[in-house]
Amino acid sequence: MSPEPRRLRRESDGAMIAGVCAGLGHYLNIDRNLVRIAVIVLTLLTSGLAAIAYGFAWIVLPADARTPEAPADRPAARRGSWLVGAGAGLIVLGLLFVLRAAGVWWSDALVWPLVLASTGGALLWRQFTGPGRPGRNSRWRASRGGSANYRVAFGLALVLGAGLLFLYINGALDAAGTVALGALTVIVVLGLVLAPLWARLLRNLGEERAARIRSQERAEVAAHLHDSVLQTLALMQRHSDNPREVSTLARRQERELRDWLSGKSEAEREASLADMLEATAAEVEEDHGVPIEAVTVGDRQLDDHGRAVAGAAREAMVNAARHAGEGGPVRMFAEISPQRVQVFVRDRGPGFEIGEVPEDRRGVRDSILGRMKRNGGRAEVRSMPGEGTEIELTMETR
């Protein structure tokens, strides 16, 4: 359940008329009733212009894909097309009255052609642009059967009829300029008929591209699983008599898969101190076959201080893996803040009295201590027989 990118859509769920306000409210993340009130107030203030905008939004906005107006598996003519067509016609009629009342007017001859053309155009638009959903090419072809076809034909007839009517009225009034007017009318009619088709084509293209990206992603996942997971599973079957080997393989595969799922790029991982420490723990685990549980809190850009701490932490983990691998997992805990980096490496090995440090362990301790000191930090070793050992690395930065 991934969070869907918010899109401006009509919301059929909780719609009062067509869900335009609800959709707008959802998109802007405000209460839908506030949007409704705003639209009503605007309608009153603009003598109806806002209502026309509403109708336009109704036609243009795609419906909420979650509740399609017609079930996808039963392709049918879109419901409410007649209403929308008639509504568009009435809206245009209303708009013309408003313009006329406002004094912007050319000729009464415009009225009927325009109303008819808008009704037909709206019908066509409704038929060609349904709620956007993947794989709907087939649906569109299927939906042309029966009633849908009839509506398309009727819409076309209305638009063409409007064009003819316009020509006829103007031709009767004025014979001059008929050719230019005719050409213009043809262009307008074609535009009305073709615009919905074009809009539909654009949307289908977008959907096809999304589908292609999805299938590419799928192929990539399959390739990755094949290269890594299946190979590891095969290896594990061949080593089934060696539990240690199997567990090492499983952990390595788990880590790889987690890295891959995290979606971070190589560069991003290299720039982070927390990721560097976790990667170091993973490497030591792989080299020595001892599980290392790494926990990090906070993060910051990897710098020389950070590299020094990571280097010392590696020594500490190698040391723990070598001497205390049998006592259970080694734990690495790192707390990173802008002022300070602190790393704890704890094992559950036999432990020892600080006074009686074996030579080889002292050597490692000195190398850790030395490295931290050179870089302005400090290291501390705590150990008790029977309680394991903990090495603490601290680096203060300004």
Partner 1 sequence: MSPTTVVIVDDHAIFRAGVKSELEKGVKVVGEASNVHEAILMIGKKQPDVVLLDVHMPDGGGVEVIRQVAELDSDPPRFLALSVSDAPEDVVQIVRAGARGYVTKTISGPDLIEAIKRVGQGDAVFSPKLAGFVLDAFADSPGTEAGDPELDLLTPREQEVLRLIARGYLYKEIARRLGISVKTVEAHVSAVLRKLQLSTRHELSRWAAERDLVDWD
Applying CB under 8 A, among 164, 195, 295, 357 the residue interacting with partner 1 is 295
Q: How far is the CB of 25 from partner 1 (least distance, A)?
A: 10
Applying CB under 8 A, among 298, 358, 370, 385 the residue interacting with partner 1 is 298
- Which residues between 24 and 43 bind partner 1 (CB under 8 A)? 29
392 sits in the region (left: phi over 0; alpha: psi -120 to 50; else beta) called beta
Q: How far is the CB of 322 from partner 1 (least distance, A)?
A: 18
Number of amino acids touching partner 1 (CB under 8 A)? 18
Q: Which stretch binds partner 1 (CB under 8 A): 126-134, 235-243, 332-340, 355-363?
A: 332-340
Q: Is 3 in the site for partner 1 (CB under 8 A)?
A: yes
When the beta carbons of 8 and 295 are compared against partner 1, the nearer one is 295
Q: How far is the CB of 329 from partner 1 (least distance, A)?
A: 8
Q: How far is the CB of 295 from partner 1 (least distance, A)?
A: 4
When the beta carbons of 166 and 344 are compared against partner 1, the nearer one is 344
Applying CB under 8 A, among 58, 125, 166, 344 the residue interacting with partner 1 is 344
Q: Which stretch binds partner 1 (CB under 8 A): 38-46, 125-133, 295-303, 357-365?
A: 295-303
* Contacting residues toward partner 1, per CB under 8 A: 1, 3, 29, 254, 293, 295-298, 331, 333, 335, 337, 344, 346, 348, 387, 390
